[in-house]
């Protein structure tokens, strides 16, 4: 059975504050847990008024306090922004609070721009080039091998599950070389999906933590009880993508009926391209879309992304998606 999990950007909707967005984290994680989602992940972003997950480890702790068994973690931590020791301590602390269910997904992108990088006192180009070395150093802080001459406390000996995240071939090759699980960001950058998964599986080297390749792929799901409602709910995220790609990011806007009909051809083409790993519709439509995506990717796990303006509609969408996954699990392989 293909596992299914949830990626939460902790979106701030128009008319609310980051505190409002963070207040939804616990209820959303608990809802996902009740539906059988395997993981709840938060993504690190900085300097974006529409995303409240900058202090990622703190947000993950909020999810942990509201749940009992669902895995919690980062999808991901942008390692160029941080010292490996600090991340080992933060996620070691999370593992001490929520033993045996903490994930640490690592990305090479900064999750910010040069202005934010300067404010963080980081050299993004240098840190990105050092990413493989820093990943190895971070893993050594957890395992104690090799001995770095310093002990991460908390951190050393914890059960944090490390992942490599990516939207290009680089992350796939690194995850394969290190014997780590791999997740591809196909929910917004689908171009290299098939080749990345192929390279990861072909070149995978077993490690102490993972004997066989394990791949996840992200997929947007906008589900509702009617097709018209699902189409309407999806327009909030569509507006956000257009705003981001035109240099005007902001808070998540309310739905707009027939939004795509208002777009010029170039914007519509861009939107349909970047959101091609998506399904919008009723449970039957969602089930069929998921089945096609799973057949294409052979992913061990699907990471569901579902940003909606209305919180109750988002919860309903996640419920419908869970029903669709359950129905797929009943179909013979």
Q: Judge whether 86 lies within some domain.
A: yes
Q: Judge whether 264 lies within some domain.
A: no
Structural domain for 120, as ranges: 3-228+277-329
Q: Judge whether 255 lies within some domain.
A: no
Rounded-to-integer distance, Cα 31 and Cα 176, Å: 33
Alpha helices in 98-253 (DSSP H): 114-120, 124-129, 131-143, 169-178, 193-203, 227-245
Whichever domain contains 126, its CATH number is 3.20.20.30
Q: Judge whether 239 lies within some domain.
A: no
Q: Quick check: 56 and 77 in contact, CB under 8 A?
A: yes
Q: Judge whether 52 lies within some domain.
A: yes
**Domain total in the chain:** 1
**How many Cβ atoms from other residues are within 10 Å of residue 263's Cβ?**
16
Q: Is the dihedral angle over the CA atoms 276, 285, 43, 73 positive or is it negative? A: negative
Cis geometry, peptide bond prior to residue 69 (ω within 30 degrees of 0): no
* Collapsed DSSP state (helix, strand, coil) of residue 142: helix
Q: What is the pLDDT along the chain (333 residues), one digit of tens a residue?
A: 899 999 999 999 999 999 999 999 999 999 999 999 999 999 999 989 999 999 999 999 999 999 999 999 999 999 988 999 999 999 999 999 999 999 999 999 865 667 777 777 667 667 667 899 999 999 999 999 999 999 999 999 999 999 999 999 999 999 999 999 999 999 999 999 999 999 999 999 999 999 999 999 999 999 999 999 999 999 999 999 999 999 899 999 999 999 999 999 999 999 999 999 999 999 999 999 999 999 999 999 999 999 999 999 999 999 999 999 999 998 775
Q: Judge whether 245 lies within some domain.
A: no
Q: How far is CA 148 from the centre of its chain?
A: 30
Q: What is the phi-psi region of residue 43: left when phi exceeds 0, alpha when psi lies from -120 to 50, beta otherwise?
A: beta
Q: Judge whether 253 lies within some domain.
A: no
What is the widest separation between alpha-carbon atoms in the chain? 60
* Collapsed DSSP state (helix, strand, coil) of residue 79: helix
Rounded-to-integer distance, Cα 296 and Cα 291, Å: 9
Q: Which among 168, 167, 289, 316 has a CA at the least distance from the CA of 229?
A: 316
């Amino acid at each position: 059975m293909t596992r299914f999990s949830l990626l939460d950007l902790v979106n701030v909707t128009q008319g609310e504050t980051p505190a409002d967005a963070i207040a939804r984290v616990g209820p959303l994680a608990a809802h996902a847990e009740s539906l059988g989602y395997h993981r709840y992940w938060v993504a690190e972003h900085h300097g974006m008024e529409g995303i409240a997950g900058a202090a990622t480890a703190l947000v993950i702790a909020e999810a942990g306090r509201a749940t009992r068994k669902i895995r919690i973690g980062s999808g991901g931590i942008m390692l160029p922004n941080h010292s490996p020791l600090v991340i080992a301590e933060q996620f070691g602390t999370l593992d001490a609070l929520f033993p045996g269910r903490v994930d640490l997904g690592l990305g090479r992108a900064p999750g910010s721009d040069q202005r934010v990088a300067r404010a963080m006192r980081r050299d993004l180009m240098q840190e990105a080039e050092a990413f493989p070395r820093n990943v190895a150093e971070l893993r050594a802080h957890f395992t104690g091998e090799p001995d770095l001459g310093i002990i991460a406390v908390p951190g050393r000996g914890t059960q944090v599950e490390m992942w490599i995240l990516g939207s290009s071939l680089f992350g796939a090759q690194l995850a394969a070389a290190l014997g780590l699980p791999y997740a591809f960001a196909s929910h917004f950058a689908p171009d290299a999906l098939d080749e990345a998964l192929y390279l990861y599986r072909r070149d995978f080297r077993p490690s102490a933590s993972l004997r066989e390749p394990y791949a996840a792929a992200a997929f947007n799901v906008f589900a509702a009880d009617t097709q018209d409602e699902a189409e309407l709910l999806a327009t909030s995220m569509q507006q956000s993508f257009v705003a981001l790609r035109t240099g005007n990011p902001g808070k998540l806007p309310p739905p707009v009926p027939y939004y795509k009909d208002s777009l010029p051809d170039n914007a519509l083409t861009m939107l349909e391209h970047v959101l091609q790993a998506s399904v919008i519709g009723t449970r039957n439509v969602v089930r069929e879309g998921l089945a096609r995506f799973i057949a294409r990717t052979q992913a061990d796990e699907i990471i569901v992304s579902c940003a909606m303006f209305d919180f109750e509609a988002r919860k309903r969408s996640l419920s419908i998606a869970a029903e669709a996954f359950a129905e797929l699990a009943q179909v013979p392989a």
